[in-house]
Amino acid sequence: MLKPTRLLLLGAPGSGKGTISRKLLNRFPQLKSISSGDVLRSHILRGTKIGVEAEKCLKTGTLVPDSTMVSLISEQLRDLDGLSSKANWLLDGFPRTFSQAQKLTEILDKNQCNLNVVVELNVDQNIILHRIESRYVHLPSGRIYSLDYNPPKVPFKDDITGEDLVKREDDNAAVFKKRLDKYNEEIVPLREYYQKLGIWHEVAGITSDIIYPKVEKLLLT
């Protein structure tokens, strides 16, 4: 694996970033994971001020404000000792905008621990919209299941805890289309930013089983 490895996973909502992240963490246990989705879900479950704000954004398909996200992820990096030149970590879901990327670079530059590989997952968005209707989640952990290609062992139950799976309010085609449109708008300057830094890579595929081996190969070369 790259030494050190500071990886950012980009991809549209529903592209499988969470699944790829879990596979990478199993393969490379030295990586520390920082997932913006997990951080926000934690705040939503605890009913914090940030959680209430984030839940409203998710229901309407809008993004949580940049300043809020930068503050949350910076805090996570500090807590995980991620602001070290020897740190190994994986960012999932952040930054989502050009402004967030610039602010993240400023923070990491100061600590000499900047990103060294950015991977964008390229999945046909028509396929994503088709899948979203069959997606269920275990809220406490964020584990995602698809009734089509990644079903739970027991219908509508989490494989690990046996607890109920639920359907998120934003997991419907109408709201999700708004999220995809917003992603498509924001990703262009973000992609160009990391291309100019020479650390951007694109990995295409239909499922995580196709995509993951390509991502792993990038980290081993």
> What residue numbers does the annotated binding site for AMP cover?
36, 41, 62-64, 93-96, 100, 168, 179
CA 95 – CA 63 distance, rounded (Å): 11
CA nearest to 199, candidates 116, 100, 120, 112: 116
Greatest alpha-carbon pair distance for the chain in Å reads 48
C-alpha distance across the termini of the chain, in Å: 7
Beta sheet of 89-92, edge-to-edge order: 32-35, 89-92, 6-11, 117-122, 200-204
Annotated binding site: 14-19, 36, 41, 62-64, 93-96, 100, 135, 144-145, 168, 179, 208
φ, ψ of residue 16 in degrees (nearest 5) = 100, 20
b/e map of 41-79 (b: 16 or more CB within 10 Å)? Answer: bbbbeeeeebbebbbeebeebebbebebbbebbbebbee
Annotated binding site for GTP: 14-19, 135, 144-145, 208
Beta strand 135-138 pairing with 143-146 = antiparallel
Cβ proximity of 96 and 136 under 8 Å: no
